[in-house]
Amino acid sequence: MLDAKNYVNHIFEEVKKRNAGQPEFLHAVEELLDSLEPVLEEHPEYIEENILGRITEPERVIEFRVPWTDDEGRVHVNRGYRVQFNSTIGPYKGGLRFHPSVNQSIVKFLAFEQIFKNSLTGQAIGGGKGGSDFDPKGKSDREIMRFCQSYMTELQAYIGPDRDVPAGDIGVGAREIGYLYGQYKKLNQFEPGVLTGKPVSMGGSLGRTEATGYGTVYFAEHMLQDNGQSLAGKRAVVSGSGNVAIYAMEKLIEKGAMVIACSDSSGFVVDTNGIDLDLVKEIKLTKRGRIKEYTQSRPDAKYYEGNIWSGMEETYDYAFPCATQGEINLQAAQHMLEKGVTCLAEGANMPCDADAVQLFIEKGLLYGPGKAANAGGVAVSSLEMQQNSQRTSWTFEDVDTQLQHIMKDIYQKAKETAKKYGKEGNLLQGANIAGFVRVADAMIRQGVI
């Protein structure tokens, strides 16, 4: 039997051979495997049962054609995906992303991350993810409706409340979820638990829209409190201006921090008097406009094109990357440290590349990895599933209280697991191991399937 180090190296070589040309997925696998040698040495049964070989291979990858018709009658074809990665501890759970960048590598990376994120929540949910290279930007409501109906016509054969429960992600909000659920219901029956992130009137949960952003801030608050710091009176920068970013900003402001910048895919705005969140909501949620419009109403604010993390010239204390994967490389990370950043919590999935993460850890930055810090969204999705099963609805306060407890528990698991394996303070290693062990133990108990 191979020792832990050689086993990890062997598995990663096999994964690279099978998944050539899938850099995002390989990055996610490598990050996890780099953390696991200590736990593999303590639990040789994981090697004997080849848990890594099994857990790095999806249970099912579904890829399909999505034809739809635009408002001028032209027929378009996009590609749809659903990766059902691991159902050991519960039905597949993870969002749907509609964005031109979506490909099999990205969906597999997101689904793989989801396994361990979902495990950390303590809920009975497995890991999955899906989406399409369809771009909702610039499309009419009718065009989006027709696309969603076509996408769900194929997807509905593979999902169900106890099988696979998709949710929203980038490009998939309450509007898209509504259209998707309408088509599912037409083809099947009334099953509100088949999708989460639904509008409240359709069986959605209060607090779900806010959950990922709020949860990221709750996680950061625990990191800071453990190190004698707080959010109050500090300057924060948040990338993105979608739901995650908006509600991270909302909670930061509520906690006494000043948010001085946010962004979208074109550029970023800096408002040293503090971002006007109501204005951002109007631009992004109501008008579906671009963040550069912010300066039309706030002439003292400045708009810049490019990456917010490498372009920020103001000093600030805390960073909340809430946009998308790969937005912070080594150069951007160095720039952030020069600007005074001491704490970073990931609201997006893997926004920092491996070199950036290594630098942050080496420099002692308080670093909250995405699979822990942004797990609030899927945690509340699981609470939505519970409400649907009970045919009931909980108050916002009840949901938010549970979210706070879950985020505190995730933080404690990551912290204590890192300490147990000799990596005190390394929440990335702690989160990876804690999420992995729960799934690995269940896989052994269920046999080779």
Catalytic residue ranges: 129
Residue length, the chain? 449
For residue 66, list its beta bridge partners: 78
Q: Are 307 and 356 in contact (CB under 8 A)?
A: no
Round to whole Å and give the CA distance between 283 and 25.
34
Q: Angle CA(394)–CA(248)–CA(311) in degrees, nearest 5? A: 165
- Cα dist from 373 to 126, 132, 189, 414, 415, whole Å: 18, 25, 35, 10, 12
Question: Rg (Cα) of the chain, in Å, rounded?
Answer: 21
Helix ranges restricted to H, 74-173: 104-120, 141-155
- Cα dist from 387 to 92, 203, 369, 402, 431, whole Å: 18, 8, 29, 13, 28
Q: Are 168 and 242 in contact (CB under 8 A)?
A: no
In the chain, what is the greatest distance between 2 CA atoms, to the nearest angstrom? Answer: 66
DSSP 160: B
The separation between the first and the last C-alpha atoms of the chain, rounded to the nearest angstrom, is 21
Sign of torsion over alpha carbons 400, 404, 405, 409: positive
Q: Are 209 and 243 in contact (CB under 8 A)?
A: yes
Q: 418 in helix, strand or coil?
A: helix
Round to whole Å and give the CA distance between 6 and 139.
50
Round to whole Å and give the CA distance between 285 and 280.
8
Could you count the other beta carbons within 10 Å of the beta carbon of residue 439?
Answer: 20
Q: Are 66 and 152 in contact (CB under 8 A)?
A: no
Round to whole Å and give the CA distance between 281 and 295.
14
Q: Are 142 and 71 in contact (CB under 8 A)?
A: yes
DSSP 169: B
Q: 60 in helix, strand or coil?
A: strand
